Amino acid sequence: MKFGKEFASQMVPEWQEAYMDYKLLKAVLKDILQIRQRNVSAPMVASTPKGTLRRKVSLYRAFSGLTGRYRGSPQKKEDEVILVSAAEQEGSEGQYRTMFLMPSDEGAEHELVFFRRLDDEFNKVINFYKKMVEQVMKEAEELSKQMDVLIALRVKVENPMLRLGRDDAINLGSFEVSSSSIVHPSNGTKPGGSHMDVIQEVEMTSEEMNDEEEREGNEPNTTNHRNADRVKLSIQGFKPASLELLDHVKINLSPETPVSTLKEILMSSTSDLSFSTQELRKAEESMMKAFSEFYQKLRLLKSYCFLNQLAFSKIMKKYDKITSRNASKSYLEMVDNSYLGSCDEVARLMERVEATFIKHFANGNRRKGMNTLRPKARRERHRITFFLGFFSGCSIALVVAIIVLIHVRNIFKSDNRGQYMDNIFPLYSLFGLIILHMLVYSGNIYFWRRYRVNYPFIFGFKQGTELGYREVFLLSSVLAVLTLAGVISNLDMEMEPETKSFSAITELVPLVIGLVFLLVMLCPFNILYRSSRFFLIQCVFHSLCAPLYKVTLPDFFVADQLTSKVQAFRSLEFYICYYGWGDFKRRSNKCNESKVFKSFYYIVAIIPFWLRLLQCVRRMIEEKDKMQGLNGVKYFSIIIAVAMRTTFELRKGIMIWRILAAASSGIATILCTYWDIALDWGLLRRNSKNPWLRDKLIIPNKAVYFAVMVLNVILRLAWMQTVMGFTQAPYLHKKALIAIVACLEIIRRGIWNFFRLENEHLNNVGKFRAFNSVPLPFNYEDDDKDG
């Protein structure tokens, strides 16, 4: 693989604009190469007026900062091609500029442009790297303060009666001082339960710190000492952490669960520390997440530094090769001596985070701690591809077998065809809709990966646990094989003449498949992608309990998927009615005559939209976002439209319900279509760089965006077949037509998924937001007063 592709593949997706633009510089070098090749192939060229050439060179000299921008520039040596130094003008501190020392050569104006672009890219990288290092240093300081409080809380929880004075306090720095020995001063033993994972630790004296610095090769530096806030300790024996910290700290209790939300509503709960074991456990979990996210940021920042240094090295060597010059040595020396090449704060922070995490959260077990901080990425396995091909082939073979059986048995002309479609088809259509949604999601994952949409970060998957498109495709293929095999077993149209009923074993096949599917989803054992299954179940549960849970992107994304499965929920309702109160042996039921069934026919269609409405209400109240209120109005209009359409469907022949259904559905469709395209997808921007689209697009072909906007409108109008009475078609049963409309809605939702996440990804890119913000467990009273 060429370096350009490898460089692009290793980028942090949200930081793409902050990396060196290797493709741009490579294009400039390509122009230089073409000019040199043209000069070699055509040595006899027309003479150029000297004045014009002189004016061109003068122009490019001014453009590249060669006139009056440097003071006391070093003298040119015979073999030097460039001189690099930092600009000294006011407001240009730290901006590197390159002086090209051969402006009179042929094609030199293009080389001047190259070095100008090179300097711009290098300064961009330097400024971004400095900004990010400053951020992580501030975060490190805050984590250090949080660790001090956590250690004091551990001591207090394990020794409720322990009281320490000011003289007994130890100033702890979690990144610098390995002193957090929670050891009782009287007996020298650990004063608590094993769940604390607190180990006996030995303090480092100032001499040991100096020895460590010498081993690391770090010279004394006032900035480093200020950032690290080193503490010199010379303590006899072990002493516990200062408990005075707890007098000025409150615990952050955000209402994220139903219990905490109800407490927040019903009573004015205080956030003071009560020194309980539960509070300590939650604080430890929060700190572990914060350390993991912080360590991941440090890893990617270190990778950012290395990749950009490598890119500058590659582009300069390519320049030397094309121009037959020797400029890379001077430029790369400057890169090595710059902040990008000489700053070691990130590497030192990584070592201290590792030491702190292993000591406080892994009981001194380095392997356990590093596995938590650096989880291994999932490997692509050949057996996944093998089973995917096997079950996909079986699915195709079963589809062909069903088509042949229908043709041989002449099922379309059977007298019992209507009975089959009314009773058996809805049972299997439920699995068909689930399979289609899984296939669409598999396609989403494929295109997200192809266009480098960081879906694991957006959804908040634990690193290494996210499913790829092959895994999702495999699961859908397995379910398809089970479903199609069940269809073949239930394809009989005639009852047995003796019993005048169908075989009970074959009639129970859909129920067995449903139970197997449910057991696999709820299986507690670590098989069949347990992490992903439980993540989905958790999101569904949070959606069902809205607005008692704090609404996150995965929760409302899953709730949006549920709104496209109205027909699947109705099939599930029929499933329960058919096997609970119907005569499944004779393929007959009286569900449509039951008032309870009709009532739930309304409810199951409205519930998904009602849940989204509640999520919008919570976000509007919690985030003070008026747009969430408007989003709630949109879902309220959908609820009215669904109720009107359902009423018209159950009470056919009444014109007033048809009018109300058409009017409410038309209003809801207009609102939803505009919201999808303008807000969820971020399109329809008149004054953008790409008219009626966005400034930033992932798909190169702009026609795709216009096509999907039109397609979204067409698929949104699928409800017209129920409102206008197009419920019958030649050779097509009503149940089949309803299933087709439901499939179209799932396909529309799949298209929406891709562009919704694309828009979310681009918003993160615009803000360089590549990490989840983990709320820290403790809050300082002094900070509140200052605020």
Three-state SS for 449?
Answer: helix
Which of 143-147, 158-162, 681-685 has the least mean pLDDT? 158-162
What is the reported pLDDT for 262?
Answer: 59
What is the reported pLDDT for 654?
Answer: 81
What b-and-e string marks burial along 179-206, b requiring 16 or more CB atoms within 10 Å of the CB? Answer: bbbbbbeeeeebbbeeebbbbebebbee
User: Which one, of 759, 658, 752, 755, lies nearest residue 713 by Cα?
Assistant: 752
User: Which one, of 256, 763, 286, 771, lies nearest residue 551 by Cα?
Assistant: 256
Does pLDDT of 748 surpass 90?
yes
Q: Where are the alpha helices (DSSP H) in 324-424?
A: 328-337, 339-342, 345-361, 366-373, 382-409, 417-423
Burial class of residue 137 (count of CB atoms within 10 Å of its CB; 0-12, 13-18, 19+)? middle
What is the reported pLDDT for 234?
Answer: 32
pLDDT band at 216 (very low <50, low <70, confident <90, very high): very low
Angstrom distance (rounded) from CA 202 to CA 232: 14
Element (H, E) at 480: helix 469-489
Does pLDDT of 485 surpass 90?
yes
pLDDT band at 171 (very low <50, low <70, confident <90, very high): very low
Which of 50-64, 175-189, 277-291, 727-741 has the least mean pLDDT? 175-189
Angstrom distance (rounded) from CA 632 to CA 615: 8
What is the bridge-based pairing of β-strands 249-251 and 96-100?
A: unpaired
User: Which one, of 758, 770, 765, lies nearest residue 676 by Cα?
Assistant: 758
Phi, psi of 732, deg, nearest 5: -135, 120
Name the percent of the chain lying above pLDDT 90: 42
Element (H, E) at 111: helix 108-158
Angstrom distance (rounded) from CA 318 to CA 3: 11
What b-and-e string marks burial along 18-53, b requiring 16 or more CB atoms within 10 Å of the CB? Answer: bbbbbeebeebbeebbeebeeeeeeeeeeeeeeeee
Which of 200-209, 349-358, 562-571, 685-694 has the least mean pLDDT? 200-209
Angstrom distance (rounded) from CA 499 to CA 501: 5
Angstrom distance (rounded) from CA 150 to CA 152: 5
Q: What is the DSSP letter of 13?
A: G
| pLDDT tens per residue across span 368-381 | 889 888 877 667 77
What is the reported pLDDT for 172?
Answer: 32
CB count within 10 Å of CB 248 equals: 12
Distance of CA 648 to the CA centre of its chain: 41
What is the reported pLDDT for 74?
Answer: 45
Angstrom distance (rounded) from CA 436 to CA 454: 24
List Cα–Cα distances, 721 to 643, 726, 743, in angstroms: 16, 5, 14
Distance of CA 307 to the CA centre of its chain: 23
Q: Which residues contact 327 (CB under 8 A, 6 or more apart)?
A: 81, 82, 316, 319, 320
What is the reported pLDDT for 751?
Answer: 96
What is the reported pLDDT for 674?
Answer: 95
What is the reported pLDDT for 248?
Answer: 75
Tell me if 126 sits within 8 A of 308, measured CB to CB: no
Which of 142-146, 215-219, 586-590 has the least mean pLDDT? 215-219
β-partners of residue 250 are 272, 779
What is the residue whose two structure tokens read 């048995």?
Answer: 409
What is the reported pLDDT for 725?
Answer: 59
Q: What is the DSSP letter of 700?
A: S
More confident residue, 592 or 478: 478
Calculate ∠ Cα 715-716-718, nearest 5°: 70
List Cα–Cα distances, 665 to 110, 564, 629, 634, 738, in angstroms: 61, 15, 20, 12, 17
Angstrom distance (rounded) from CA 576 to CA 584: 11
List Cα–Cα distances, 292 to 149, 369, 385, 572, in angstroms: 19, 10, 32, 41
Structure tokens at 635: 């879902």
Q: Where are the alpha helices (DSSP H) in 651-730?
A: 655-674, 703-716, 720-723
Does pLDDT of 129 surpass 70?
yes
Q: Residue 768, by phi and psi: left (phi above 0), alpha (psi -120 to 50) or beta? A: left
Handedness of CA 729, 731, 737, 741 (dihedral sign): negative
User: Which one, of 115, 153, 107, lies nearest residue 276 by Cα?
Assistant: 153
Three-state SS for 205?
Answer: strand
pLDDT band at 566 (very low <50, low <70, confident <90, very high): very high
For 654-660, what is the mean pLDDT? 87
pLDDT band at 258 (very low <50, low <70, confident <90, very high): low
More confident residue, 84 or 191: 84
List Cα–Cα distances, 322 to 37, 38, 105, 120, 705, in angstroms: 10, 13, 14, 21, 40
Which of 153-162, 300-309, 530-539 has the least mean pLDDT? 153-162
What is the reported pLDDT for 78?
Answer: 47
What b-and-e string marks burial along 288-319, b requiring 16 or more CB atoms within 10 Å of the CB? Answer: bebbbebbbbbebbeebbebbbebbbbbbebb
Which of 89-103, 198-212, 636-650 has the least mean pLDDT? 198-212
| pLDDT tens per residue across span 394-417 | 999 999 999 999 988 888 888 888
Note the pTM of the prediction, 2 decimals: 0.79
What is the reported pLDDT for 83?
Answer: 79
